[in-house]
Amino acid sequence: MSTPHVAPVRPTALVTGASSGIGLAVARLLVAHGHRVVGTSRDPDRIADADRVAGVEYRALDLDDLAGVTALGADLARDGVEVDVLVNNAGESQCGALEELPLPEVERLFRVNVLGPVHLTQLLVPGMRARGRGRVVMVGSMLASFPLAYRSSYVASKAAIKGFAEAARFELAPHGVWLTTVEPGSVATGISGRRTIHSPDGSPYAAGLRQMLGRLDAAERDGVSAERVARTVLRAVQADAPVPTYAVGSGAPAVFALRRALPAAVVERVVARRFGLGPRGVRA
């Protein structure tokens, strides 16, 4: 007879991108709820004192470097850190017209937003499975459900990470390991100032991109707090059987209900109008 698994008294969580915004709020909340938290940053030495959470153990991780992801997995194993909860939060916000996105930049975005998190998940899931319990939360984006012009690479990266999580759920659920995606709408984290924007001189898309960015930045400034998103992540972590997707901010869950009720072509136009765009281009 197999021994029933006993949940650890103090579960260990790994939160990527714990140096700012949503990741910082998640790390803080998980510490407050009794987790041992390992938080990552590309350069933990550069995290400002005000953004350091007491109790969080910081480790270096650049998701653009897949060998570095492998090395982090090996370091955690060597140090006997058994991760029960993985929050794949770190990510980059890229903008630009599809035609003008440099392919190496799209590749880099997919390493940071998709392949790095997928690889980290592959490294940590075997331990969770062996222990009979685990949670993996992908921090996606509502834009994966409501695609937006000039954000094609970012939308595709967030749809991809959600796809990995949704498809693999019933591979892992029988082993007590649940994957889920938290899709935030606009969140006031200052991410607007850290976006990568690709807009070459003389671009025929410049006006539309500018219009979209103005609305996007305003929505982020007026967005929900990172703490609110962190509470949603905690709900997903604490659920016995997390649902496939948790949405938070930008009018969720009402806008998801409308999305189910309305024809796709109507939803597409509503989203475009919200950002001052439409099928004929920029709207006044």
**What are the catalytic residues?**
154
Nearest residue (CB) to ligand NAP, 154 versus 178 = 154
Question: Quick check: 22 binds ligand NAP (CB under 6 A)?
Answer: yes
Sole window of 75-83, 86-94, 235-243, 265-273 interacting with ligand NAP (rule: CB under 6 A):
86-94
Among 94, 121, 180, 189, binds ligand NAP (CB under 6 A): 189
In whole angstroms, what is the distance from residue 266 CA to residue 190 CA? 31
Is residue 9 exposed (0-12), middle (13-18) or buried (19+ Cβ within 10 Å)?
Answer: exposed
Sole window of 127-135, 185-193, 207-215, 271-279 interacting with ligand NAP (rule: CB under 6 A):
185-193
The first and second tokens of residue 147, run together, are 């695609």
DSSP string, 133-152: -EEEEEE--GGGTS--TT-H
Which residue is closest to ligand NAP by CB? 21
Report how many residues bind ligand NAP under the rule CB under 6 A.
Answer: 30
Question: Quick check: 23 binds ligand NAP (CB under 6 A)?
Answer: yes
Among 12, 15, 19, 28, binds ligand NAP (CB under 6 A): 19
In whole angstroms, what is the distance from residue 142 CA to residue 248 CA? 8
Smallest CA-to-CA distance from 188 within 145, 250, 276 is with 250
Question: Quick check: 242 binds ligand NAP (CB under 6 A)?
Answer: no
Question: Quick check: 141 binds ligand NAP (CB under 6 A)?
Answer: yes
Among 11, 14, 20, 275, binds ligand NAP (CB under 6 A): 20
Among 96, 134, 223, 242, binds ligand NAP (CB under 6 A): 223
Buried b (16+ CB within 10 A) or exposed e, 219-249: bbeebbebebbbebbbebbeeeebeebbbbb
Nearest residue (CB) to ligand NAP, 115 versus 177 = 115
Give the DSSP H or E segment for 217.
helix 206-221
In whole angstroms, what is the distance from residue 149 CA to residue 278 CA? 9
Question: Quick check: 92 binds ligand NAP (CB under 6 A)?
Answer: yes
Least separation in angstroms between residue 279's CB and ligand NAP is 25
Is residue 279 exposed (0-12), middle (13-18) or buried (19+ Cβ within 10 Å)?
Answer: exposed
Write the interaction track for ligand NAP spanning residues 31-70; mark x where CB under 6 A is met and - where it is not.
----------xx------------------xxxx------
In whole angstroms, what is the distance from residue 61 CA to residue 73 CA? 10
Among 152, 186, 211, 245, binds ligand NAP (CB under 6 A): 186
Smallest CA-to-CA distance from 215 within 284, 144, 142, 159 is with 284
Nearest residue (CB) to ligand NAP, 69 versus 131 = 69
Binding site for ligand NAP (CB under 6 A): 16-17, 19-23, 41-42, 61-64, 89-93, 112, 139, 141, 184, 186-187, 189-191, 194, 220, 223
